[in-house]
Structure 1
Amino acid sequence: MNGPARGLSGVVLSLLLAVAIAVPAEPVIRLEPVAEGVHVHRGGHHSLTSPDRADIANLGVVIGTDCVAVIDTGGSVAVGRALRQAIAGLTSLPVCWVINTHVHFDHVLGNAAFADAQTVFVGHVGLAEAVAASRAFFVEHFTAELGGGKDAAAQVITPSRGVTDTLELPLGGRSLLLKAHPGAHSGQDLTVFDAATGTLFVGDLLFVERVPSLDGSLLGWLALLETLPGVGVVRVVPGHGPASVAGPHEVQRLREYLEGLRDGVRAAIAEGAVAEDAAAGIAAAEATRWVLFPEVHPRNVVRAWMELEWE
């Protein structure tokens, strides 16, 4: 999902978020086993104006013999607490690692539920700065998700450990390989690979069913997709969509959308069009293939336009 307001796309996002949001229901987290010791909660396809917007991202849990790793914590402190409670129903082992795949609210605002002496927060080397830069944005637009109190800013937890290239995290009996990537979906994308089961968590580098949202580099994202799923990968956990997928078909569908976005924006720029006026005709064939297309696609056009107009 999109993060701090930037340029025209940020203005549109801020207007969306300014709509009054009803008080969300108590979140229910269901952890689905996808491999031995690997569980995923599937987020719903809710819009940013839905009272359930905090529960839209897929959240991962990997259980070792010594401790547990959590991959993304959801879009509110309440979702994070519900996730922690669900983990307690699976194992009494402590959570030693919380790994955030990128900065967007639906993946990081549950972090506070795991803030204790036993847990280390890990992310892309650029994530701590990105979260800090987003703190005011989160407090302004996601006050309820942060508990609604005066200490909302303190509920935004930044990682204390950054990944510059790769990093291996031990869980006991298995380890996770973290890899930092150049700008793609966001500016701080991180993947997590469990070699024991061949499970790759890709965060929002892969959207399935729900229309992708662009907040990084369109060209960088397309380049990165050439490397996915990768050698040894049996299943992929996307940031949005089913709990797990095989990977190649879903990556190709995402590539088709992004290529249509790229080609349509380039053509409109060459014709001297204006982004907001051209949006409806760009990648229009994709409209029936993705959930929430009318809400998200126009922002993607503006974001892509900002990148491609200076080629």
Structure 2
Amino acid sequence: MFHLILTACLAAAPDDCAPRLLPAGDAPDAAGCEARAEPIARDWIARHPDLRAREGHCVPTGALPALNVTEIADDVYFHQGVMDQISPGNRGRIANLAFVIGDTVAVIDAGGSQAEGEALYAAIRRVTDRPISHLILTHMHPDHILGAEVFSEAGATITANARLPEALARRADAWMVSIPAQIGRPAFAGTRVVAPDRLVAAPATIALGPTQLQLVPVPSAHTDNDLTVQDSRSGVFFAGDLVFRGLTPSLDGRLDGWLDWTRAGPPQPVPSLIVPGHGPVTEIWADAVTPEQTYLTGLRDATQRAIRGGMALSRAIPAITAMMQPYSEGWADFDATTARNAATAYSQLEWE
């Protein structure tokens, strides 16, 4: 297969350019790709007014920059993100991403930028040329969703928790300013927020021929729009950011709801493998949830102590972070994330 690569430059900084992969240009051979390149590139640039086209060319699949993926079960592939907060050094590529191959391909999370979505798309194409029919977003956070346009252009139906559009509406404009400042504008070039096509408010199923994906929306926990996915054939369970391993859990939903989810036990059927939103996969449910349950319980208890002590928020945040130090071992980015979590937990617990 051959793929259309367009060199696109920032209109505001013409020397800042990056290659963009345009899935609509895919063709079985170079001639077919080249014959369609001009109108496809023109239409794509028209949808990205902050960019200017410089040149386009067609390359074989093997020449595309691709994420490293591992087959963790038959026809189930996984990419582990960097366990850190986003930065120029990691280009925002911190989230775990995955895809499942049946008669078609379903992708679970799209990465934190157009460029990462393209690298995931290239990784898929190195494994299979089957159509990509679905992209499932496990929650709203930008490191998981901002590569979505690549898969939309490839023909995928984007599926998400029914509460996700409202959450995006409150945050998307700020992200489009803050994230390029954190990872670099060239790394973010061409990235847009894409709305989901299908909203899930109750358990639902996606059929992929020999397997099915079971989708379950979760009450407010890590966020208010978490969505889990389980592959019926392999038993692999995709928890999204309901499970953090190694990177400090980040609270953007309800602390009590997240604790309830960790205590409820594994889904049925019991997963063969748990894929967290950050960190390595594991076969053991307790290994997946117990460390973050301990952290979240400690956060609740420390926050309640600060509130009972009459501390105002400005004093409570550093005090809670200090009280949480015994829980810091094994968690990356502990202090900064815990300080943010302290503010969120305080706002939820102060009137209890």
1:38-96, Cα deviation, whole Å (9 max, x unpaired): 110000113233431421000010000x2000000110100000000000011110110
Cα drift, residue 253 of structure 1: 1.1
Among 236, 242, 255, the residue aligned to 2:280:
242
Highest Rg: 1 or 2?
A: 2
In structure 2, do the counterparts of structure 1 residues 117 and 241 end up closer, same or farther at CA, with 3 Å as the change threshold?
closer
Instruction: Say whether residues 1:206 and 2:247 are aligned partners.
Output: no
- 1:251 maps to 2:289: yes
Aligned partner of 1:90 in structure 2 is 127
Hey, what does 1:38 align to over in structure 2?
76
CA distance in 2, matches of 1:24, 1:240: 27
- 2:268 aligned to 226, 231, 239, which one? 231
Alignment TM-score, normalising by the size of structure 1: 0.86
Quick one: which amino acid aligns to residue 206 of structure 2? L
Deviation of the 1:117 alpha carbon:
6.5
The within-5 A match list for 1:272-283 is 272-273=310-311, 274-283=315-324
Q: Which of 283, 298, 302 lines up with 1:264 in the alignment?
A: 302
- Partner residue, 1:166: 203
Gaps of 5+ in 1: 1-22
Q: Tell me how far apart the structure 2 counterparts of residues 172 and 234 of structure 1 sit (CA, whole Å).
A: 20
Name the Cα RMSD after superposition.
Answer: 2.2
1:52 is aligned to 90
Instruction: Answer yes or no: is the 8 Å Cα contact 1:70–1:98 preserved in 2.
Output: yes
CA distance in 2, matches of 1:24, 1:261: 42
Note the C-alpha offset of 1:147: 4.1
2:153 maps to 1:112: no
Q: 1:195 deviation in Å?
A: 1.6
Q: Is the 8 A contact 1:27 1:55 kept in 2?
A: no
Equivalent pair of 1:209/1:290 in contact (CA under 8 Å): yes
Q: What is the alpha-carbon distance in structure 2 between the residues aligned to residue 118 and residue 50 of structure 1?
A: 30
Q: 4+ residue stretches of structure 1 with deviation over 6 A?
A: 23-27
1:34–1:244 Cα contact (<8 Å) kept? no
* Match of residue 295, structure 1, among 330, 336, 340: 336
Q: Between Structure 1 and Structure 2, which shows a larger proportion of strand residues?
A: 2
Note the C-alpha offset of 1:283: 1.9
Give the 5 Å matches for 1:43-192.
43-64=81-102, 66-116=103-153, 118-143=155-180, 144=185, 147-148=188-189, 155-192=192-229
Q: The residue matched to 1:204 in structure 2 has which SS?
A: strand
Distance in 2 of aligned mates of 1:35 and 1:46: 26
Q: 1:87-130: per-residue Cα shift (whole Å, max 9, x none)? A: 00111101100000000010000101112362100000011222
**Is the Cα contact below 8 Å between 1:228 and 1:251 reproduced in 2?**
no
Question: Bigger relative contact order, structure 1 or 2, given CA contacts below 8 A and separation 6+?
Answer: 1
Q: May I ask how many residue pairs the two structures share in their alignment?
A: 285
- For 1:228-252, what per-residue CA distance to the aligned partner results, in whole angstroms no more than 9, with x for missing partners? 4223211100000014442222211
Of all paired residues, the percent bearing the same amino acid is 37
Whether the 8 Å CA contact 2:91–2:187 is kept in 1: the answer is no
